[in-house]
Amino acid sequence: MLQVSYIRENREKVLERLSVRNFKQPELVDEIITLDEKRRSTQTRLEQVSAEANSAAKKIGELMRSGKKEEAEAIKNQTSNWKNEIKSLGEDLAALENEQQQKLFLLPNLPHISVPKGSTAEENEVVLENGEKPNLPENALPHWELAAKYNLIDFELGVKITGAGFPVYKGKGAKLQRALIAFFLDEAEKAGYDERMLPLMVNEASGFGTGQLPDKEGQMYFVGEDKLFLIPTAEVPMTNLYRDVILKEEELPVKNCGYTPCFRREAGSYGAHVRGLNRLHQFDKVEVVQVAHPEKSYEILEEMSLHVQSLLQKLGLPYRVLRLCGGDMGFTSALTYDMETWSAAQQRWLEVSSVSNFETFQSNRLKLRFRNSEGKNQLAHTLNGSALALPRIVATLLENNQTENGIKIPEVLVPYTKFEWID
């Protein structure tokens, strides 16, 4: 959530950065500023009347002790007016604060200066491309057919048990899944991340803290009786570990990682592009999260990007890095890099990771601060990244490594799978 003081003091810059996102409600900026002027004016008047009432109360006591009852009673007659005005001003202030807060919820984060302007994914900027795309024979199979051929994943059984988008992994398919999770966690540990095992459901305050609420409420599964949400990513519970926390400056950066299943309704997602593992309602992911000093967060973002790239390199997957344009970025992000692997059988790029810097957007909601060198509390920056999401990694591994003899397992995974081939 943007800070009102920043909006008020940087109106033109806020409007300019929102235009990079093609934000459709720029009038909200002036509405928020107007509400803030009314709020501050009401707050000032409330403080003045309260001060007058407190001063009068002291004076009444002094007059009574001095035996000047008539003067004291005269002042007492005015106290009901002060009480009524204080009550009315308090109600007005609460209403203004609530209205301002609701409008602030509608403003997305401001894009970093490096974010290109654009409306769709086609306008994202390709930062780099790495690795050679494999040349597969004409009879190469997409991953959903490979999964059936080698009895790795049963999509229909998942439909029977739950519904579309909830696959059942079997045999070597399940072992490959488990191997990838362990490999990603081990690599995160080598990179200095401290592992966490996290709840798979969060409360409303947690969803609000990281920006899923109210923006993405319709994309999350809701447990109505308990008013809990199934997590869309480990980012939500992991970042909320630091809600209402004041860190010491020397503790930064805080680096956490964790594996969780993730749950997304993906409402309205249909068509061939979501077949097989391309888009699921439940999937596994290893997430990395950092809480950083504002002066170092963009340096850390680049480090996180390199960490994700190193995983793809070790798996031998061709990939590219995209800097997302304003119109394709998430609501809470200031800058996002997407990593995509090349699916040789499908002949298209598949997103496997997003790494984002949220600057103070989440920490303002979370009240996540650190005590700086001057002894003052300051909002930290938060960052997160998929390292990695498994479904499309599995899809590209199966497709790109298929041979006449079976599917070759990347060398780095063999110590985890305990087998070199799927045949």
Going by the annotation, the residues of the binding site for L-serine are 233, 264, 287, 384
CA distance 277 to 155: 9
Structure tokens at 224: 């109505």
CA distance 235 to 239: 6
Rounded to a whole number, what is the distance in angstroms from the first to the last CA of the chain?
51
Backbone phi, psi, residue 282, to 5°: -130, 130
Structure tokens at 253: 């950066």
CA distance 189 to 3: 35
Given a contact cutoff of 8 angstroms between Cβ atoms, the answer to whether 178 and 186 are in contact is: no
How many Cα atoms sit within 13 Å of 195 on the Cβ side? 14
Find all residues with CB under 8 Å of 403, minimum gap 6, and list them.
none
Q: Which residues are annotated as a binding site for ATP?
A: 264-266, 351-354
CA distance 193 to 259: 12
CA distance 327 to 315: 31
Torsion of CA 267, 208, 362, 388, to 10 degrees: -40
User: Which residue shows structure tokens 């990939």?
Assistant: 319
Given a contact cutoff of 8 angstroms between Cβ atoms, the answer to whether 229 and 221 are in contact is: yes
DSSP 8-state class, residue 152: -
Sheet hosting strand 201-202, strand order edge to edge:
201-202, 228-230, 222-223
CA distance 99 to 102: 5
CA distance 9 to 180: 48
Q: Which residues are annotated as a binding site?
A: 233, 264-266, 287, 351-354, 384
CA distance 300 to 373: 20
Residue type, 225: E
Burial class (CB in 10 A: 0-12, 13-18, 19+), 1: buried
DSSP state letters, 220-271: S-EETTTTEEE-SSTHHHHHGGGTT-EEEGGGPSEEEEEEEEEE---TT--S
